[in-house]
Amino acid sequence: MGTTFVLFVEDNDDLRQTFVELTTVVLERRCVGVGSYNELVALGDEVLACDAAILDINLGPDQPSGIDAYEWLRHQGYPGRIVFLTGHASTHPLVIEATRIGDAEIFPKPIDADQVQSVVEGVRR
């Protein structure tokens, strides 16, 4: 298992658990799964040590979005790679807002394990 870890912010419990297990078992990286923006903020500095942060753009109705999570991470001085994951169309307002962020990539769901690996290892496919 690697010494670095991946942060995964996703409001869907099943997907979050599966991703954490996939990253741990297949990619052999430590992974922290976070279900909401508030949970992320509560973890504080602990999450800032991650190498890559994968954020679901839509974290539920009337909830802070993945874009809020992105801004919080950058505001805290997190320098690592941030990737947005979304199941929404490119015309969705949140996705449009995310595309305006210069240093973050957007991956539409579903992505495969190889793409996850490329994100974790910092390799663009």
Partner 1 sequence: MTLASGMAVRHAWRGAFAAAALNAAGMSADYLLGRNIPAMPIYPYAASVLTGIALLVFLLIHRQRATVRLGSTVFLVNNVVIMMALWITSGYWASTGPAWTPFQANKLGVLAVAMLAPELGVGLAVIAGFAAIALAKFYFLDPEIQRGFPVGEPWLILIYALFAGVLLVYRVRGLAIEREMLRVQAEAAASEQLARTFLRLSDYANTPIQTIAFATKLLSTKNEVELARTAPATRSIVALPARTLCAKSRTAAYQNHVTR
Q: Which residues bind partner 1 (CB under 8 A)?
A: 12, 14-15, 18-19, 21-22, 25-26, 85, 87-92, 108-113
Q: How far is the CB of 95 from partner 1 (least distance, A)?
A: 10
> Closest separation between CB of residue 40 and partner 1, Å?
19
Name 87's Cβ contacts closer than 8 Å, sequence gap at least 6.
Answer: 58, 108, 109
DSSP collapsed to 3 states, 29-86 = CEEEEECCHHHHHHHHHHHHHCCEEEEECCCCCCCCCHHHHHHHHHHCCCCCEEEEEE
CB of 26 to partner 1, least distance (A): 5
Nearer to partner 1, 49 or 96 (CB): 96
Looking at beta carbons only, is 80 or 87 nearer to partner 1?
87
Residue 28, Cβ density class (10 Å: 0-12 exposed, 13-18 middle, ≥19 buried): exposed
DSSP conformational letter for 87: -
Residue nearer to partner 1 on the CB measure, 108 or 122: 108
Which residue lies nearer to partner 1 by CB, 39 or 48? Answer: 39
Q: To the nearest whole angstrom, how small is the minimum distance from the Cβ of residue 110 to partner 1?
A: 4
